[in-house]
């Protein structure tokens, strides 16, 4: 695909218009820090940063909002989230534009991220009437045991560039119906998306008469994130990012007896068995591995293919890679946009070099596009590398479109390869054999938080809990019962007997 990248003026005007329609004046937001668009490598806007010192005030305002919000009935709290979802629908294209311009997602993926925000609002509205506890049988006559769930407190959210708004919305929609305010530190690479998302929620808060301070955004650098991590007023710290970041965040939150919810690295694999439908498998692999230019935490980074199908499968996927339209993410027909910055491209080249040194064979890709036209933008050709075994570079997560293809002979060997990495986020198997699928999903099968059959590793729906094991951090967000992380549990005993029998048959008479 040949294309001309948009001019800096065109992109700036698009950003101005989209932000304005969401309620953000970029001139009023301007400051000393520049936002660079990966689309052309040029400045998009400037922003004024908060500092770590601003966190105290934000948390104090959130605590004040919590005092009243926690007593509002949960279905009423759900009404605020419903209105927020309606505003997201109205501004889906605007937010999608900002996502594309700031992080380089193609239009369908950028608007798909906003759709996730809409979906989690719908889920949360229903959840607001389903924050269920349990009634438990008591061993004592005339007694009843039950569980109740109560709002937890201030939720701090630190989000990453690759999903600059959706992950915040997962936390925020659930937190709000659970009775919690949110203080958000977005990625430094996507402040305009954050400002626009927060402005829409602020509008919903004002329209619904909810307390000020329920939602706050602090655009800034690492010092803001560190202050949120260490603040004793933050009851739950939800952080999305690298495993290295999680190693720092987890112990610091635990040291102050706070809660942390960590969504960290992924090194996701698909097992392809001899019975797999290779047409379906190829489509599933290409989207999971090349979508978002390989910059999803659920990106497929490994294919573990049976020796009977590995050659044909590799040829099919490589042929699809050669046809992938690479170019401006806001241009019609593009499927692969840019990497977010030069450091990501350098990491990709370093990994490809290491793979070659460790016995890998580059099948396709790895080059760069538009270097002459936009020297500060980094459009990489998604790469496929055949590896004889799972080496050190394969076990590392490289946040770029590199797909390693590994051989296997027995399903037990394939599952062992799937699990033989430090990360444990997402996984899949392509098979037409039900026994193989069930074996993969069993307790001694995939050790990941997400295990799929006949679909790729990316594209999770909000109805299920999202998260992973091992160095992925163990957190769960979004659907299912992930809401419990945002609430505190109380066990209640009610004695209506008129007597005072003790549990376990204890006798204590005075």
- Residues taking part in catalysis: 263
Instruction: Give burial (CB, 10 Å; 0-12/13-18/19+) of 264.
Output: buried
**How large is the C-alpha radius of gyration of the chain?**
24
Which residues have C-beta within 8 Å of that of residue 135, sequence separation ≥ 6?
A: 144, 145, 146
Nearest alpha carbon to residue 70 among 487, 492, 410, 471: 487
Instruction: Give burial (CB, 10 Å; 0-12/13-18/19+) of 141.
Output: exposed
Point out which residues pair with 234 in neighbouring strands: 154
Which residues have C-beta within 8 Å of that of residue 469, sequence separation ≥ 6?
A: 424, 447, 448, 449
Task: Give yes or no for a contact between 466 and 307, defined as CB atoms under 8 angstroms apart.
Answer: no
DSSP string, 290-335: HGGGG-STT-EEEEEEETTTHHHHHHHHHHHHHH--BS-TTSTT--
Distance CA 96, CA 250 (A): 32
Q: Which helix (H) or strand (E) holds 386?
A: strand 383-386
Nearest alpha carbon to residue 98 among 170, 32, 47: 47
| 60-94: burial string, b at 16+ Cβ within 10 Å, e else | ebbbebbeebbebebeebbbbbbbbbebbeebbeb
Strands (E) across 128-275 are located at 135-136, 143-151, 154-158, 182-185, 215-217, 234-240, 259-263, 268-272
Query: For residue 48, what is the DSSP state?
Result: P
Nearest alpha carbon to residue 348 among 383, 390, 374, 309: 383
């Amino acid at each position: 695909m040949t294309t001309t990248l948009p001019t800096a003026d065109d992109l700036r005007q698009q950003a101005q218009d989209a932000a304005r329609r969401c309620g953000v004046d970029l001139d009023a937001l301007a400051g000393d820090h520049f936002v660079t668009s990966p689309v052309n490598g040029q400045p998009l806007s400037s922003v004024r940063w908060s500092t770590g010192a601003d966190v105290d005030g934000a948390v104090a305002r959130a605590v004040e909002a919590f005092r009243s919000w926690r007593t509002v009935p949960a279905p009423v709290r759900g009404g605020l989230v419903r209105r927020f979802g309606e505003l997201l629908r109205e501004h889906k294209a605007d937010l999608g534009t900002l996502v594309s311009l700031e992080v380089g997602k193609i239009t369908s993926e950028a608007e798909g991220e906003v759709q996730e925000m809409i979906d989690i609002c719908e889920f949360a509205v229903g959840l607001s009437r389903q924050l269920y506890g349990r009634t438990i049988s008591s061993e004592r006559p005339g007694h009843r045991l039950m569980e109740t769930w109560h709002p937890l407190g201030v939720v701090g959210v630190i989000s990453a560039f690759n999903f600059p708004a959706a992950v915040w919305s997962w936390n925020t929609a659930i937190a709000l119906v659970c009775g919690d305010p949110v203080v958000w530190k977005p990625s430094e690479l996507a402040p305009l998306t954050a400002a626009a998302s927060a402005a829409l929620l602020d509008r919903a808060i004002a329209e619904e008469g909810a307390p000020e301070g329920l939602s706050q955004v602090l655009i800034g650098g690492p010092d803001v994130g560190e202050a949120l991590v260490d603040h004793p007023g933050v009851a739950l710290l939800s952080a999305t990012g690298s495993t290295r970041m999680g190693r720092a965040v987890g112990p610091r939150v635990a040291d102050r007896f706070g809660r942390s919810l960590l969504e960290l690295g992924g090194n996701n694999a698909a097992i392809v068995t001899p019975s797999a439908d290779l047409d379906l498998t190829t489509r599933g692999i290409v989207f999971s591995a090349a979508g978002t230019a390989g910059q999803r935490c659920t990106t497929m980074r490994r294919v573990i293919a049976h020796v009977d199908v590995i050659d044909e499968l590799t040829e099919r996927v490589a042929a699809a890679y050669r046809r992938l339209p690479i170019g401006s993410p806001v241009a019609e027909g593009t499927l692969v946009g840019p990497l977010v910055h030069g450091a990501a491209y350098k990491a990709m080249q370093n990994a490809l070099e290491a793979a070659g040194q460790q016995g890998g064979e580059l099948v396709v890709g790895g080059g760069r596009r538009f270097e002459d036209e936009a020297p500060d933008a980094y459009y990489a050709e998604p790469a496929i590398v055949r590896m004889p075994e799972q080496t050190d570079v394969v076990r590392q997560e490289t946040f770029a479109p590199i797909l390693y293809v590994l051989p296997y002979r027995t399903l037990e060997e394939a599952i062992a390869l799937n699990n033989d990495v430090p990360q444990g986020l997402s996984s899949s198997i392509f098979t037409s054999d039900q026994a193989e699928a069930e074996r993969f999903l069993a307790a001694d099968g995939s050790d990941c938080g997400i295990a799929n059959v006949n679909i790729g590793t990316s594209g999770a729906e909000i109805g299920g809990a999202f998260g992973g094991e091992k160095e992925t951090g163990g957190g769960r967000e979004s659907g299912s019962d992930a809401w419990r992380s945002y609430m505190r549990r109380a066990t209640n005993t009610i004695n209506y007997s008129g007597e005072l029998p003790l549990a376990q048959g204890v006798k204590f008479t005075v």
